Amino acid sequence: MTYTPDSDLDPLLLKSENEDIHILIDHITDKGEGRLALSADSCEQLLHARLSNKISPEDVALISTELRSFGGNSLFNLFRGGNGVPYKELLCDVADHLKVNYNKNNDCAKIEMEILLKVLEQSIEKMSDQERKELFENLGGKFTGTGPLMMASLQAAISASGFAAYKLAAIVAQSTAKAILGRGLAFTATAPLMRGISVFAGPIGWAITGVWTAFDLASPAYRVTVPCVVQIAYIRQKSLSKKTDVHCPKCHAPVTVGAKFCGECGERLNQSAQ
């Protein structure tokens, strides 16, 4: 079999942190228990990479292949060379399954964000007004009450700030990992950057965790592709946030050029940061 890298997926995974790749491996291997659609050799290789904390390009290629294979009919995969469907095709399939309103012509980052917003929209219905207000404040939006205006306000806040998009991705990915894997993400060096998101352990996190029971994940394929897409969305937003030229020296949040204080933690910025 000749391996064909996916331009929307492989480059992103190759530059990702090991801890974030570990979550994908756990989703694909069912926390190491294995799956019927996953060969014993593939499962063993992925678990070895996870335990050794060394993710090689070959491991990334296997993750990409196995994930994309879950997104396509096995007979079709034979004609595709065993690589599975393109990631964007898998992504659109997940969006369709979750009944997301999206444009197939948009790039993967935009479609992933629409999926995250769909999960959040379902979760918001289970929150109190105080919890909604707290969530909106964390994402830089203004809580305007229930109804279409509420989601429109949230979408506007996220569109206006790449950091808000990163926070949203982190909130949903964290809650998804806890619901399905029983553990959250490892933020390591970026933990100060997530200073304000107390929603992880509170009622808001529980609401997002509980929403997964409302989505139909009965299909073995969707039990892999849906949580993996959420994790990949988080990895992509994390990568995009690092491309900002100016960051706070204390919490590492992106800051506006010329700002005197960090909008995230309030740290006074020195001249070089400004």
H/E stretch holding 41: helix 40-52
What confidence category does residue 203 fall into, taking pLDDT thresholds of 50, 70 and 90? low
Count other C-beta atoms under 10 Å from residue 175's C-beta.
27
Q: Which residue has the higher pLDDT, 112 or 190?
A: 112
Average pLDDT over residues 137-163: 76
pLDDT value at residue 47: 96
What confidence category does residue 74 fall into, taking pLDDT thresholds of 50, 70 and 90? very low
pTM for this one?
0.83
What confidence category does residue 51 fall into, taking pLDDT thresholds of 50, 70 and 90? very high
Instruction: Name the residue among 83, 56, 57, 55 with its Cα closest to residue 70.
Output: 83
Asked if pLDDT for residue 148 goes beyond 90, the answer is no
What tokens appear for 213 in the block?
A: 């029971």
Distance set, CA 209 to CA 46, 84, 199, 201 (Å) = 26, 29, 12, 10
Residue tagged 């992504």 (tokens) = 91
Residue tagged 């063993």 (tokens) = 44
Lowest mean pLDDT among 87-91, 129-133, 248-252: 248-252
With beta carbons less than 8 A apart as the criterion, state whether 170 and 185 touch: yes
Q: How far apart are CA 48 and CA 54, in angstroms?
A: 9
Positive or negative: CA dihedral 213, 178, 238, 145: positive
Instruction: Name the residue among 151, 174, 157 with its Cα closest to residue 238.
Output: 174
Instruction: Name the residue among 185, 164, 200 with its Cα closest to residue 231.
Output: 185
With beta carbons less than 8 A apart as the criterion, state whether 231 and 27 touch: yes
With beta carbons less than 8 A apart as the criterion, state whether 105 and 125 touch: no
What tokens appear for 18 in the block?
A: 């090991």
User: Which amino acid is located at 142 in the chain?
Assistant: K
pLDDT value at residue 189: 45
At residue 268, the 3 state secondary structure works out as strand
Average pLDDT over residues 93-119: 92
What confidence category does residue 202 fall into, taking pLDDT thresholds of 50, 70 and 90? low
Quick: pLDDT tens for 108-123: 999 999 999 888 888 8
